[in-house]
Structure 1
Amino acid sequence: MGGRRVLITGASKGIGRAVADRVARTGNVPVGLARTAPEDFPGEFHTVDFADVAATASALESIVAAGRVDAVVNNFGYARWGAIGDIDLNDLLPTYDLNMRVAVQMTQAALPGMQARAWGRIVNVTSLVTLGTPLRTPYAAAKAGLEAATRVWAGELARWGITVNAVAPGPTETEMYRSRSPVGSAQEAELLRTIPMRRLAAPAEIAHAICALLDEDAGYITGQILRADGGGSVCAA
């Protein structure tokens, strides 16, 4: 894949930024969206609060007007934790909205152009928590919904040459992860015991999996959930 324009949500840091860096290194143009802009983004960047539906739509209109969008990486995620007995019902709708609606909104913006050109790549970033990680009901349910949507969209869009896949990372060295699991904490030690590789993923490793599905030669892979989790899904099975 070369000379493609790739829309990436949550692109200012972590996995999203690693995807943007890899996309740029392969001669493509990353188009990043996030609430805060990084200082040295390697492509186009648009600051947007995804909780604002109208502002998100406006940013997408500008992006599509500026040029074609060949691929979408729905990386943005919003997480709320809690045991089932402690979940705040007011957290449910925002969690579903920000994990599912944003992915739908991004995909819908890029879709007409992809269909017209009979080529496109969509990768949804989900999570290992969909297999049943404790204390993650809202987030796991939202990401599981995105995995189901991945399969539905793959069936709907295959006739236009558009592939739709998901990458489900295991625990990854990101700011979101560290906000819940400090280095050397008992919580982290317990988590690492469930991962055969006994370590976290680097964002670049997850980006590699995502970008493999964006490749020109990945055109016969669609509707798949790639679990890049150090073997964690084996332990969860």
Structure 2
Amino acid sequence: MTERVLITGGTAGIGAACAERCRSDGYEPVIIDRIGDGIRADLSDPAETADALERALEGGPITRLVNNVGMVAPASVTEQTLDDFDKVVALNLRSAMQCAQALIPGMRATGFGRIVNMASRAALGKELRTAYSATKAGLIGMAKTWALELGEYGITANAVGPGPIRTELFDRANPPGAPRTQTIIEAIPVRRVGEPQDVAHAVSYLLDARSGFVTGQVLYVCCGMTVGSAGA
């Protein structure tokens, strides 16, 4: 029987690349998203999320989870609205916990599990990202805590922290050709924005059964931007 992987927000961008990589790795992706051919749900809504997870688990336990879905809502701290802040927390952070809570019992019963939270380099700090950076840092914190709590059951929990990756989400927040976008590119050692497949490759490693001695870690896929700047 083909092993399944639950991927939230797996219709486009990094999520779609992860789904495609999972297929090539021999897994069956189960996608929950607002659009596409998978299970449709607004993951910012707890009731819709619960219903979607129930449908996902109708076929039995799912022992691999990629908490990928997310939104940005860029704004300075003085301009960040509480409404947008709450929306970002609900989608980026609360849905990840809800998905983990739904899948962990099956993982524990199986004696195996892999959880990957899609964090971001922005968790280390980034202008105009108060809500986004807070939730991405939260995903890292949850992964580290879950690693401690679930290790004895054969379950690992890690986070991947992408840097600038060419997706619709990135382009909306960083319009191509804008001075701020060019500044980002010039600070990347290889002078290019990453591709979704770069992140999917890292996720694939952490989902692998052979990665059982790696847990509670953050794997930054940022071409060295967490190390420093390549600019003058």
Is 1:73 the equivalent of 2:66? yes
* Partner AA of 1:62 in structure 2: R
Corresponding residue of 2:56: 63
Corresponding residue of 1:42: none
**Is the CA contact (8 Å cut-off) linking 1:80 and 1:91 kept in structure 2?**
yes
Corresponding residue of 2:13: 14
1:176-201 Cα deviation digits (max 9, x unpaired): 01112222221211111222221111
Quote the Cα distance in structure 1 between the aligned partners of 2:14 and 2:103: 21
Shift of 1:116: 0.3
Q: Using structure 1 for the length normalisation, give the TM-score.
A: 0.93
Corresponding residue of 1:198: 191
Q: Post-superposition, which runs of at least 4 consecutive aligned residues in structure 1 deviate over 3 A?
A: none
**Is the CA contact (8 Å cut-off) linking 2:160 and 2:219 kept in structure 1?**
yes
**Is the CA contact (8 Å cut-off) linking 1:169 and 1:227 kept in structure 2?**
yes
- Spell out the pairing of 1:60-209 with structure 2 (5 A cutoff): 60-209=53-202
1:24-79 Cα deviation digits (max 9, x unpaired): 112110001110005xxxxxx21111122111111111111222201000000121
* Partner AA of 1:139 in structure 2: Y
**Is the CA contact (8 Å cut-off) linking 1:119 and 1:161 kept in structure 2?**
yes
Q: Using structure 2 for the length normalisation, give the TM-score.
A: 0.95
* Partner AA of 1:93 in structure 2: D
Quote the Cα distance in structure 1 between the aligned partners of 2:173 and 2:93: 23
Quote the Cα distance in structure 2 between the aligned partners of 1:108 and 1:146: 14
Root-mean-square deviation (Å): 1.3
Farther-moved stretch of structure 1 (194-203 vs 14-23): 194-203
* Partner AA of 1:59 in structure 2: A
* Partner AA of 1:164 in structure 2: A
* Partner AA of 1:34 in structure 2: D
Quote the Cα distance in structure 2 between the aligned partners of 1:159 and 1:185: 49
- Spell out the pairing of 1:24-39 with structure 2 (5 A cutoff): 24-37=23-36
| Equivalent position SS for 1:227 | strand
Quote the Cα distance in structure 1 between the aligned partners of 2:175 and 2:71: 19
1:226 to 214, 219, 229: 219
Farther-moved stretch of structure 1 (62-71 vs 203-212): 62-71
**Is the CA contact (8 Å cut-off) linking 1:197 and 1:231 kept in structure 2?**
no
Corresponding residue of 1:41: none
1:125-179 Cα deviation digits (max 9, x unpaired): 0001111111111110111111111100000000000000000000111000111
